[in-house]
Structure 1
């Protein structure tokens, strides 16, 4: 039995007898969940399996506050207006006590604004835009996944060790890509004031013209490339760049490209030696991760992916907040979220900072490789998210006044 299961079982034995009576046991705590399932299935489907596993384990261990958790999940189809309408229905019609989820940054920001207007807690599980916790942060929104700034800073630390001076960047032209390039430039120039950026390519998200993008990067003759493309755009970029020898004797630092969702589809086209953030599930041997991975594989017949971790940790955080609050009331949940500690997650302990509502959940940094014909990460380390954030005092200044 995992520590998480023991914790919830122990909590249940301490509850008054009345809370375990059959009639009360039928009551549930409804959590509203929104995500782009049909638009981005490669990431959101593993994410859904992750939160489903966490709910199942928590309920099997007795639930939270004497009640079972119930997730009512909806597909926003990648449209912000649809996401807002769904969030409203989850609160007003389904009785959800909070909202969690979303993937695309524009949808995360839209739901964050909804949460502020409706005064309901929103845990942004996956969106990476820094605006969610900084320039457009609000009292009601917290973010779980390590941010764009955090992961860019992790990569900049590795990039600074290279001999490269002239850099080119390629990133999708929307909030996430813009934030990722800005953060990488800022962090790398702090560590290496001698570097210069000689070319920027901004393809539209999911619509990259890989040929023209590669030709433009090639013409700039950079020493190294910082890549932020993902999904289908990444596959096209890798294929075209390899055909034109863009990556020959040239370092590439690539955000998210070590995540199984994006790495595995590259197959035997996987580039060798790219420095990436990602997740190597088959190689992590901590007790908490092994328990999670074994349970996930037993239930779904596959290894977990990055989305699986995000979904699982989302529900662990929500359960911890409910337990700490001792209530489903929004004010109590908001108070509980400030400085909330989650001690037994598959990726290790993390907390939510009071100053900017960002979690300190980290990421894995390593290199891409083909091992026995399978795309994977090698030479990786776990980077604690707390080490790549500005101080809470500095972060508080980045947020609008409440």
Structure 2
């Protein structure tokens, strides 16, 4: 099931659930989706993010805050207008997770809770401030999901949290999971999961064909997740990196690349490249500051063509290994192959260390593979967008098989 974002309207009569580029309106009293839904967000919500809304938070003044990535906007749902934004979360909610949140809920006490990855933060309603301390969900919410996709305060006074294909009702006093939960979303929430807009089959993103179509699309897919950086920098683990998340954590690896002087375009010598590598590697604090910190001190850069070649070479190595490892690799839906490459891009070859994913993928159980595709986010909040992308890719693969669509086509970033 795709990631949900939901909230109850300030009136308490209707709730709204968003997935991808579509949404449903949910009648609280009738306990089900209204007729005529799903609809496209872009057609009904002027100025709102048109797809992939991460979280929504109805506020005490009747407005609703919507979050996507590191951006936030305030919306008047009664009049269908944007009140503020989109602006960076760091500007609108100082002290909150500034790279993005997964879910938010305004508790009956007046406090708001924001969830990101496996952590959460609290907005104190009395002081009007965010507590900057991020706490583990598992430690403070007894029995709750370790990761939360969406959270709602229902008009009955019961809070609900959703994760994947399950949901749970929480005790409004202590936040513990009520007896008998979690339960399947599909059994209890009529209209969820959200299907496609009537008659809507997204246009494929990639050309028909084999692994090469995935190969051609992969740089476009990866750049928003990894960035495209022409200079050397430290990743969150302190490893020297360049390009589209390409590790070059030795001076010899760096010296083998065709760096040029940023100011003049003159090819750098081996000694100059190795000196730059050592300077970046030994600069204190770079790993915690992101790649832009290295931008201010770098002198050498890789040309675009060299970055493209780096990506292609690493992709081809991963392609050969996965083709040899997975017996049915060539018959996988293209979105599934793209998802596997996405996982492989984050580190060493993964299938032997992911038995649950491997078993599901070999059996063509793509919904199960989606559930097994989660990468650890500890200490690296930038992994969260990749996890969301991977989830969509494998769920798309399940839809391709179920609906008999063309397996050779890439449907991402659309959600089937």
Higher RCO (CA 8 Å, separation ≥ 6 residues): 1
Q: Which has the higher helix share?
A: 1
- Which structure would you say has the larger Rg? 2
Normalised to the residue count of structure 1, the TM-score between the two structures is 0.22
Normalised to the residue count of structure 2, the TM-score between the two structures is 0.22
